Structure 1
Amino acid sequence: MLVAVTGGTGFVGRRLVKALLERGDEVWIVSRASTADSSQANTKLHYVTWNELATSPDRLEGMDTIVNLAGESINQRWTSAAKQRVLQSRIDATARIAALIRRLNQKPESVINASGISAYGSSYTATFDETSPINVIDFLSGVVEQWEKAADTIPVKRLVKLRVGVVLNKEGGAYPLMTLPHRLFAGGKLGNGSQWLSWIHLEDMIRLLLFCIDNHEIQGPVNGSAPEPVTNDTFGRALGLAIGRPHWLPAPAFLMKAVLGEMSSLLLDGQRAIPRKALEHGFTFKYPNIESAMKELTNKS
């Protein structure tokens, strides 16, 4: 299979590219600047920049799938400039894919476009699946709405909008920062601790991406989160138990807002999202609950 990946050098993208190559696929990484490394040459791995594609779109003729994971990290203080970069990076990458595909003679059958679980807004009581409407109540849900509108303009037979939750992996992403207070014996619930966390282990994230690439019946929104979301307090207790640290020192919401500003909503707000579509199509999670994920993340599996 021929697969192009934007954001292929990022946290999730690197692992996806590795998984695709391991199963024998041919992969093109699309990026702003060339990242080719001749010391790690792989005859099935190719690199192309957006500028090169603008003049020679035929470089991606005959792709089976394009996976779009490009976008500015949200793990930064949300200044006005940062918020604009977060939004514009996602819209621009998606628009570029739409424009590229319009110029191809042999168009890909599918595009897997990353999105966010924050599409549903936040709630302490509601449960969301792919039939739930987008609910714009804050910055991130607004980003997702505009991101998915841009994706809807991509001219392919099958478009998957993968609404990704918090991806857990011990080597990167949010998890190392999430564990730091507990490792310093200062862990506890954040805010009131009742906010939901829709999470997914990185290994399951990669498996789900491959599943969406291969399963031609899947299209539209797909929740990229584990089937058992947890509250912030439950997550902290499971983490403390797994690493042998106490879960006792709460961080008041007002303090987190003072320190992190608007970005504190990442930790103080949440939603309980269920991956109904993936489950109905037969996908099985290797780490369906936080206990099994913690065992792997803390090397106790």
Structure 2
Amino acid sequence: MKIAICGGTGFIGQALCKHFISQGHQVMIVTRKQPDHSSKENSITYVTWDDMKSNPGQFEGLDALINLAGASLSQRWTTQGKERIHTSRQKTVSAVADLMNVLEHKPPVVVQASAMAIYGTSEDKTFDELSPPRVMDFPSEVVSMWEEAADRIQTDRVVKLRISVVLGNEGGAFPKMILPYKLGLGGKIGSGQQWMSWIHLDDIVRLIDFCIHHPEINGPVNAASPKPVTNDLFGRTAAKVYHRPHWFPVPSFLLKGVLGELSMILLEGQRILPVKALDHGFEFQYAELKDALSALKKQ
């Protein structure tokens, strides 16, 4: 297969590239600039966003395109920061939509990154792919506009991958989340009752592959373990796996003082379930948090 990955040099993108290459596929990585290293694997081609716009013909005959690109929410939400987050998502999705408009032989599927923030936050509600979007704060507003932009992508299937917290040692939120426990300073954040929906890095890679190979899957897909946990339970599980105490709570007011508006990502959460993936037969390798954390500890 010939697969293009926009944002292929990022945390999830790198793991996805390794997965596809191990299966013998040809991978095109769309990134902001060509890598500096001179040695390149024969199965990988690097293309810049400008190259994609000026020479779209090289994307003819793709079997799939995956767009993971976009500025991280994990930055201070200043006016400039919010604008950067909005703009990066709109630009990358628009670039993919424009590419689809000019290709004669479009890929049969585009997997477009989205996020669980589309559902808003709640301590008592459970969300699946049939739950309506709830625009109630900055993250949900960003993701709602992100998905609206994705509706412009014209191809047979557009899978909107609503990503939860991805657990992996090489990037994402997990290294920062587990550090206090490694230092013996772990504890609940705020009330500890806020939900945390999560997925192991290996499972999100497998899920993307699964969506590509199952033509009946279309539209929103929740990329989350079927066993979400509260913040307090996450901490207690991490403490057991890493043999560290769970005793040092972080008050809400302190977190708000340090992180400002960004603190809501840690103080509020969503309980989402991967109903569509399960209904289509996807099997999670790490459905239980304890198993996921134990695997990460061994790496």
Q: Within 5 Å, which residues of 2 pair with 1:259-298?
A: 259-298=258-297
* 2:24 pairs with 1:20: no
- TM superposition score normalised by structure 2: 0.98
Query: Aligned partners of 2:131, 2:270: CA distance in 1, in Å?
Result: 12
- Amino acid of the structure 1 residue aligned with 2:22: E
Query: Aligned partners of 2:132, 2:94: CA distance in 1, in Å?
Result: 23
User: For residues 230-249 of structure 1, what are the alpha-carbon distances to aligned partners after superposition, in whole Å with 9 as ceiling and x for unaligned?
Assistant: 00000000001111111111
- TM superposition score normalised by structure 1: 0.97
- Which residue number in structure 2 is paired with residue 5 of structure 1? 5
Q: Which runs of 4+ in 1 moved over 4 A?
A: none
- Which residue number in structure 1 is paired with residue 127 of structure 2? 128
The 8 Å contact of residues 63 and 108 in structure 1, kept in 2 or not, is answered as: yes
- Which residue number in structure 2 is paired with residue 60 of structure 1? 59
Q: Please report how far the alpha carbon of residue 280 of structure 1 lies from its aligned counterpart in structure 2 after TM superposition.
A: 0.4
- Which residue number in structure 1 is paired with residue 225 of structure 2? 226
SS at 1:287's partner residue?
Answer: coil
Query: Aligned partners of 1:172, 1:50: CA distance in 2, in Å?
Result: 23
Q: Please report how far the alpha carbon of residue 108 of structure 1 lies from its aligned counterpart in structure 2 after TM superposition.
A: 1.1
Query: Aligned partners of 2:42, 2:238: CA distance in 1, in Å?
Result: 41
- Which residue number in structure 2 is paired with residue 211 of structure 1? 210
Query: Aligned partners of 1:162, 1:130: CA distance in 2, in Å?
Result: 10
Q: Please report how far the alpha carbon of residue 18 of structure 1 lies from its aligned counterpart in structure 2 after TM superposition.
A: 1.0
Q: Please report how far the alpha carbon of residue 227 of structure 1 lies from its aligned counterpart in structure 2 after TM superposition.
A: 0.4
SS at 2:69's partner residue?
Answer: coil
Query: Aligned partners of 1:133, 1:36: CA distance in 2, in Å?
Result: 44
Q: Please report how far the alpha carbon of residue 187 of structure 1 lies from its aligned counterpart in structure 2 after TM superposition.
A: 1.1
Q: Please report how far the alpha carbon of residue 37 of structure 1 lies from its aligned counterpart in structure 2 after TM superposition.
A: 3.6
- Which residue number in structure 2 is paired with residue 182 of structure 1? 181
SS at 1:29's partner residue?
Answer: strand
Q: Please report how far the alpha carbon of residue 36 of structure 1 lies from its aligned counterpart in structure 2 after TM superposition.
A: 6.5
Query: Aligned partners of 1:35, 1:6: CA distance in 2, in Å?
Result: 14
Q: Please report how far the alpha carbon of residue 57 of structure 1 lies from its aligned counterpart in structure 2 after TM superposition.
A: 0.8
- Which residue number in structure 2 is paired with residue 168 of structure 1? 167
- Amino acid of the structure 1 residue aligned with 2:224: S
SS at 2:298's partner residue?
Answer: coil
Q: Please report how far the alpha carbon of residue 53 of structure 1 lies from its aligned counterpart in structure 2 after TM superposition.
A: 1.9
The 8 Å contact of residues 164 and 225 in structure 1, kept in 2 or not, is answered as: yes
Query: Aligned partners of 1:17, 1:97: CA distance in 2, in Å?
Result: 19
- Which residue number in structure 1 is paired with residue 45 of structure 2? 46
- Amino acid of the structure 1 residue aligned with 2:191: N
The 8 Å contact of residues 36 and 47 in structure 1, kept in 2 or not, is answered as: no
Query: Aligned partners of 1:106, 1:30: CA distance in 2, in Å?
Result: 19
- Amino acid of the structure 1 residue aligned with 2:7: G
My pick for the range that moved more, 156-165 or 70-79, is: 70-79
- Which residue number in structure 2 is paired with residue 33 of structure 1? 33
Query: Aligned partners of 1:193, 1:186: CA distance in 2, in Å?
Result: 15
Query: Aligned partners of 1:276, 1:36: CA distance in 2, in Å?
Result: 42
Query: Aligned partners of 2:177, 2:234: CA distance in 1, in Å?
Result: 10
* 2:80 pairs with 1:73: no
- Which residue number in structure 2 is paired with residue 142 of structure 1? 141
User: For residues 81-127 of structure 1, what are the alpha-carbon distances to aligned partners after superposition, in whole Å with 9 as ceiling and x for unaligned?
Assistant: 11111111111100000001111111111100000011100000011
Paired residues, number: 299
Please list every run of 5 or more consecutive structure 2 residues that lacks an aligned counterpart in the other structure: none
The 8 Å contact of residues 129 and 275 in structure 1, kept in 2 or not, is answered as: yes
- Which residue number in structure 2 is paired with residue 238 of structure 1? 237
The 8 Å contact of residues 11 and 170 in structure 2, kept in 1 or not, is answered as: no
Q: Please report how far the alpha carbon of residue 24 of structure 1 lies from its aligned counterpart in structure 2 after TM superposition.
A: 1.1
Q: Please report how far the alpha carbon of residue 171 of structure 1 lies from its aligned counterpart in structure 2 after TM superposition.
A: 2.5
My pick for the range that moved more, 291-300 or 216-225, is: 291-300
Query: Aligned partners of 1:161, 1:94: CA distance in 2, in Å?
Result: 12
